[in-house]
Chains A and B, each alone.
Chain A
Amino acid sequence: MMWRVALPLATAFAVSLLALAPITRAADAVNPEADKKAFQKFFTDKFPKVKFDDFVNGPYSMNEDLHKQWEEKEQFPPYEFSLEAGKEMFSKPFKNGKSYEDCFPNKGIGIRQNYPYFDEKEGKVVTLELALNRCREANGEAPFSYVKDEMAALTAYMAYTSRGKPMDIKIPSDPRALEAYEKGKEYFYTRRGQLNFSCATCHVQSPGERIRAEILAPALGILNAMPIYRSEWSGMGTTSRRFTTCNSQIRGVPLSPQDDEYRNVEYYLSYVSNGLPISGPGARP
């Protein structure tokens, strides 16, 4: 303690650090639970008329006329062919006699809401798409493209068997999991591309607004509807397709599907949508 007397300047410095410490810690602390509450409150305050569970319907939740159109569309859903194909593929055995059922808890039924999860062995986020391709490769099958076709069909079926179940993403008490979450959050709010947009520019700042004839979807629950049939794509697309095409549209350089950064942003975005029902597969204009 003598040094404090001897070095009053150092003491003053130490004291000021101590005084700052709690503030700094509060600002730096990663608090996913508080983030989630604030994120959800932002949307429910902004759209007081939208029922909480309806946010998963994207642009259709933002506008009554569109909502009617969507209800009519759901009578003959454009994703049906993909869903049927996915169902068939899912139970069909691989060459080695095993199937997807052997790779997932509860044989893969009704588990979509638990993805992505943080794998503590690997130290990284594992998405449903990634788990499906790993299952294939572990059984001697070639991986599928992440963006559409078979991958969209398989995830469509898995989402369908999970419809209505609340998104339930866990963040284990592992500093790497918190770091993945924080990195995903940072990615989500960082502007990029020639057009200088972040994910949040459109889907937090401007949901419900029109870009030409299209209505921007709210970020809340946006992944609950994946995969989606998009008229604009004339076909199905996965979460990977959504992320890579968003990056291209803002004139940025898309990452590879299932790049660590995309896995992290999916982790963040899914976590803050916890509690909202799985609604995939979805249909979008």
Chain B
Amino acid sequence: MIAHLSKPALVLALLAGTAAPVSAQTPADGQKLAFDRSKGNCLTCHVIKGGDLPGSIGPELTDLKNKYSRDELIAIVTDETKRNPLTVMPPFGRNRILSEKEINSVVDFLQTL
């Protein structure tokens, strides 16, 4: 577990270090990224409240605050293949589909679901 948590913890530490004002982005910005086909595109695979025509490959994104810590959510979006090598989910952080700032913004949104 320690090995799993250390990377996201590091990511967070780095983010804190850069002092990028995470709070400058709102969950609404995260939602935009999550629904945007060329960005997060979460809706292509997941049912998400407020999204039309969701896909069905991944689990419905609901009650995430109770299911995962913020670190875990960041780790999943960054590279879910670390937890589950067979996952269909693209490694948004590892393959630079989203920037760290964008991932934080998406996670802000995910934590409202």
Interface-lining segment among B8-16, B24-32, B64-72, B85-93:
B85-93
User: For the side of the interface on A, what is the size category?
Assistant: 10 to 19
Known: A194-B90, A205-B86, A206-B88. A212 touches B95 (CB 8 A): no
Name the distance in Å between B1's Cβ and chain A's nearest Cβ. Answer: 24
Is there a chain A Cβ closer than 8 Å to B43's Cβ? Answer: yes
Name the distance in Å between B36's Cβ and chain A's nearest Cβ. Answer: 12
- Check B57 against A211 for contact (C-beta < 8 Å): yes
- Check A196 against B95 for contact (C-beta < 8 Å): yes
Is there a chain A Cβ closer than 8 Å to B105's Cβ? Answer: no
User: For the side of the interface on B, what is the size category?
Assistant: 10 to 19
Chain A residues whose CB sits within 8 angstroms of the CB of B44 once the complex forms: 211-212
Consensus secondary structure, chain A interface:
loop
Interface centre among A195, A201, A212 (most CB of B within 10 A): A212
- In the complex, which residue of chain B has the Cβ closest to the Cβ of A215? B56
- Report the Cα distance A9→B57, complex, angstroms: 54
Q: Could you mark each residue 22-57 of chain B with 1 if its beta carbon is under 8 Å from any beta carbon of chain A, else 0? A: 000000000000000000000111000000011111
Is there a chain A Cβ closer than 8 Å to B97's Cβ? Answer: yes
- In the complex, which residue of chain A has the Cβ closest to the Cβ of B88? A201
- Check A197 against B43 for contact (C-beta < 8 Å): no
Chain B residues whose CB sits within 8 angstroms of the CB of A211 once the complex forms: 44-45, 55, 57
- Check A195 against B53 for contact (C-beta < 8 Å): no
Is there a chain A Cβ closer than 8 Å to B62's Cβ? Answer: no
Interface centre among B45, B53, B88 (most CB of A within 10 A): B88
- Check B95 against A194 for contact (C-beta < 8 Å): yes
- Check A194 against B97 for contact (C-beta < 8 Å): yes
Is there a chain A Cβ closer than 8 Å to B81's Cβ? Answer: yes
Interface centre among A205, A206, A211, A213 (most CB of B within 10 A): A211
Name the distance in Å between B62's Cβ and chain A's nearest Cβ. Answer: 18
- Check B45 against A196 for contact (C-beta < 8 Å): no
- Check B54 against A197 for contact (C-beta < 8 Å): no
- Check B95 against A210 for contact (C-beta < 8 Å): no
Is there a chain B Cβ closer than 8 Å to A261's Cβ? Answer: no
Chain A residues whose CB sits within 8 angstroms of the CB of B90 once the complex forms: 194-197
- Check B88 against A213 for contact (C-beta < 8 Å): no
- Report the Cα distance A213→B54, complex, angstroms: 7
Is there a chain B Cβ closer than 8 Å to A101's Cβ? Answer: no
Q: Could you mark each residue 169-212 of chain A with 1 if its beta carbon is under 8 Å from any beta carbon of chain B, else 0? A: 00000000000000000000000001111000110011001111
A-B contact pairs, 15 of them (CB 8 A): A194-B97, A195-B97, A196-B95, A197-B88, A201-B88, A205-B86, A209-B55, A209-B56, A209-B57, A210-B57, A211-B44, A211-B57, A212-B44, A212-B55, A213-B53
Seen from chain A, the residues whose Cβ lies within 8 Å of a Cβ on chain B are 194-197, 201-202, 205-206, 209-213
Seen from chain B, the residues whose Cβ lies within 8 Å of a Cβ on chain A are 43-45, 53-57, 81, 86, 88, 90-91, 95-97
